[in-house]
Amino acid sequence: MTTLVIANHDNAELHASTLNTVTAATQVGGDVHILVAGSGAAAVATQAAQVDGVAKVLHADADQYKDGVSIEVANLVVSLAGDYSHIMAGSTTSGKDMLPRVAALIDSSQISDIMAVDSADTFKRPIYAGNAIATVQSSDATKVLTVRPTGFDAAGVGGSAELAIIEGPAADGTTSVVGRELTVSERPDLGAADVVVSGGRGVGSAENFKIIEGLADKLGAAVGASRAAVDAGYMPNDYQVGQTGKVVAPNLYVAVGISGAIQHLAGMKDSKVIVAINKDEEAPIFQVADYGLVADLFEAVPELVEAL
Amino acid sequence: MKVLVPVKRVIDAYVSIRVKSDGSGVDTDNVKMSLNPFCEIALEEAIRLKEAGVATEVVLVSVGAADIETVMRSGLAMGADRAIRVDADNDIEPLAIAKILKHVVETEDAGLVITGKQSIDGDNNQTGQMLSALLGWSQATFASEVVIEGSSAKVTREVDGGLETIAIPMPAVVTTDLRLNEPRYPTLPNIMKAKKKPLDVVALSDTGVDATKRQTIINVSPPESRSAGVIVGSVAELVDKLRNEAKVI
Ligand SMILES: Cc1cc2nc3c(=O)[nH]c(=O)nc-3n(C[C@H](O)[C@H](O)[C@H](O)COP(=O)(O)OP(=O)(O)OC[C@H]3O[C@@H](n4cnc5c(N)ncnc54)[C@H](O)[C@@H]3O)c2cc1C
Ligand SMILES: Cc1cc2nc3c(=O)[nH]c(=O)nc-3n(C[C@H](O)[C@H](O)[C@H](O)COP(=O)(O)OP(=O)(O)OC[C@H]3O[C@@H](n4cnc5c(N)ncnc54)[C@H](O)[C@@H]3O)c2cc1C
């Protein structure tokens, strides 16, 4: 049994979700290999080789992998699939975009977003926005799995795996990335942050989100948002926490002006400690909050920043 | 260009889910069912392409038993021209659904498929990507803007870092994200008209697809529940609890 983990990276750095995925792979048993498909991504391959529990890093470096176009990466993975019992990628937008292609091309039925490994063929995954947990057994020869990063601890670093340079199939070349509007932020990555401060519709405007950001900076936190806040244009799409946005599980999650709809809870209810600040004492968010403060956020948040 | 929109019936987004006590699944008796919200967005996009003269026909397709026809009619009421139901169980896996959809795409000779990025029940986020791979068509997932320019398209995608725009040749499979559009509500006259629109039923055996399951659901259980904590009386008390009780700051 050998598991191939597809690294998530930006050609410069290994994304934290890869470390969680490696832990899931280790729990399956057998060897763990990491595939780094990139362009000028030697630094990423080196980082991958240091992840604990990894026996081998396969590094494919070519122009066609520069932008992580799913057709190109999937074709490469398919060319390697015969050697593996399990193929895993983190449930990031790139993993979700790419891995189902691999599953279809090798005729395997993918299991999405696993949060626990029960055995080499049986996994737990959330369905219905996490309102139910399904235990699913796969009968496919090669198991294709996306992994929910918050379900697994990050693997440590300090190892030294073998590094092999490999060559992929010819480029497909049909898809090109022609533009990117990426969020630039000094704050920690939302998916991996220790503390997250999220604002909802109650914050009222993009301008008012400065209040949320002020609190986040005081706590060294990442900033998140509800769908309503993103839809209203207060924050960009990549801040959305929830069933159809990002799933987070920090030590501390502070929800400000968020009602607590099930779709939002799906993305944060595994946080260790939840704080809710809302002026409506009936808001459902208080049913999952460890500490609730019924207050107007425009008074409470500045006061909190002051007190910290 | 004919646009095919695969849609799925799901438990309505605002219903609270009850897990059956025998662990076999989720209770669907007497529960409000709706079109999957991402499929509504897909359908809206297809209808707008037709209104803009880019698409000639919008065909809705759903794989499932006869009980899904009610939500298919609401898709017709939104403005799809006709519908196809592939008669099958309601619980087949995304890979089999993608294979069935491939068959429909080929028999219909469609030039574009728009699916939802995920359904809010299975949350699989697979079907569109699998279909694209099986067809050998371009793939553009999590779309927040779609611009079709003759034989190519530009699609802006919602990705973890922000937004990314890709250029792809047609034909393509596009999957929808939340910000692509705001689906219209069907009007009463359109609901009446939808009753007369064609809804053809195709047998699973006619698609030649083997939909045998590869996965067994061993158990479905409720998630670990979280109990409500305390309501604090002041900001000072909150800070004190976070520092000295929870020890998270
Ligand atoms: C298919 C689908 C997918 C979805 N996916 C997601 C998702 O991934 N993530 C997500 O978050 N949602 C998602 N939603 C939306 C979800 O159902 C809710 O509509 C959304 O979470 C509501 O956001 P909100 O809590 O910010 O807004 P509201 O529900 O409007 O709540 C605003 C809250 O702010 C409080 N408030 C107002 N003013 C103040 C003030 N001055 N001080 C203190 N409190 C104040 C109010 O009391 C209220 O509780 C999805 C919905 C669907 C149908
Ligand atoms: C009792 C029960 C048991 C089940 N057991 C299993 C099981 O063992 N294994 C398993 O994988 N699934 C099982 N399912 C089914 C599962 O919940 C999904 O319905 C199915 O796998 C499709 O996945 P999805 O809708 O999450 O796909 P996604 O990939 O999330 O769907 C994305 C898009 O694909 C299109 N699409 C999806 N389904 C259809 C469809 N039927 N017709 C047309 N278009 C569609 C839509 O555009 C949708 O927006 C079961 C369901 C029930 C009710």
pLDDT on residue B49: 98
Tens-digit pLDDT profile for residues B77-101: 999 999 999 999 989 999 999 999 9
Protein residue with its CA nearest to atom 47 in ligand 1: A280
Q: Half-sphere exposure of A178 toward its Cβ, with a 13 Å CA cutoff?
A: 11
Mean pLDDT of B209-220: 97
Window A:225-284, CB contacts with B under 8 Å: 227, 230-231, 236-238, 243-244, 246, 251-252, 262-263, 269, 272-275, 281
Mean pLDDT of A24-39: 98
Whole-number Å distance between alpha carbons of B162 and B99 = 32
Question: Beta-carbon neighbour count of residue B25 at 10 Å?
Answer: 15
pLDDT on residue B234: 97
Tens-digit pLDDT profile for residues A44-78: 999 999 999 999 999 999 999 999 999 999 999 99
pLDDT on residue B245: 96
Protein residue with its CA nearest to atom 23 in ligand 1: A228
Burial label for B77, CB within 10 Å (0-12, 13-18, 19+), is buried
Paired strand residues for B202: B86
Whether A105 sits inside 8 A of B118 (CB atoms) is: no
Pocket of ligand 2 (CB under 6 A): B 6-8, 25, 36, 38-39, 42, 61-64, 90-91, 93-94, 97, 115-116, 118-119, 121-128, 213, 215, 217
Mean pLDDT of B102-109: 98
Burial label for B210, CB within 10 Å (0-12, 13-18, 19+), is exposed
Window A:7-46, CB contacts with B under 8 Å: none
pLDDT on residue B226: 86
Residue of A263, A275, A299, A304 to mutate, ligand 1, most atoms within 8 A of C-beta: A263
- CA B126 vs CA A97, A257, A306, B138, B158: distances in Å: 8, 33, 47, 15, 16
Q: Which helix (H) or strand (E) holds B219?
A: strand B215-221
Asked whether residue B232 carries a pLDDT value surpassing 90, the answer given is yes
Mean pLDDT of A182-211: 96
Q: Closest ligand 1 atom, CA of A226?
A: 11
| Direct distance between the N- and C-terminal alpha carbons of chain A, in angstroms, rounded to an integer | 51
pTM for the whole thing?
Answer: 0.96
pLDDT on residue B228: 81
A298 lines ligand 1 (CB under 6 A): yes
pLDDT on residue B198: 98
Tokens representing B163 are: 């937004």
Q: Distance, CA A57 to ligand 2 centroid (Å)?
A: 34
B16 touches A: beta carbon within 8 Å: yes
The residue among B119, B129, B219 with the most chain A CBs within 10 A of its CB, best to mutate, is B129
B177, B144 Cβ separation under 8 angstroms: yes
pLDDT on residue A197: 98
pLDDT on residue B160: 96
Which one, of A109, A118, A267, lies nearest residue B124 by Cα? A109
Whole-number Å distance between alpha carbons of A92 and A149 = 8
Tens-digit pLDDT profile for residues A100-124: 999 999 999 999 999 999 999 999 9
Tens-digit pLDDT profile for residues A211-265: 999 999 999 999 999 999 999 999 999 999 999 999 999 999 999 999 999 999 9
Whether B249 sits inside 8 A of A70 (CB atoms) is: no
Beta strands B112-116 and A222-225: pairing type?
unpaired
Mean pLDDT, chain B, whole residue set: 97
Asked whether residue B20 carries a pLDDT value surpassing 90, the answer given is yes
Whole-number Å distance between alpha carbons of B199 and A5 = 44
Burial label for A263, CB within 10 Å (0-12, 13-18, 19+), is buried
Window A:101-140, CB contacts with B under 8 Å: 101-105, 107-113, 122, 126-140
Q: Which helix (H) or strand (E) holds A222?
A: strand A222-225
HEC secondary structure over B65-121: CHHHHHHHHHHHHHCCCEEEEEECCCCCCHHHHHHHHHHHHHHHCCCEEEEECCCCC
Asked whether residue B227 carries a pLDDT value surpassing 90, the answer given is no
pLDDT on residue B225: 86
Tens-digit pLDDT profile for residues A172-182: 999 999 999 99
pLDDT on residue A238: 97
Mean pLDDT of B32-44: 98
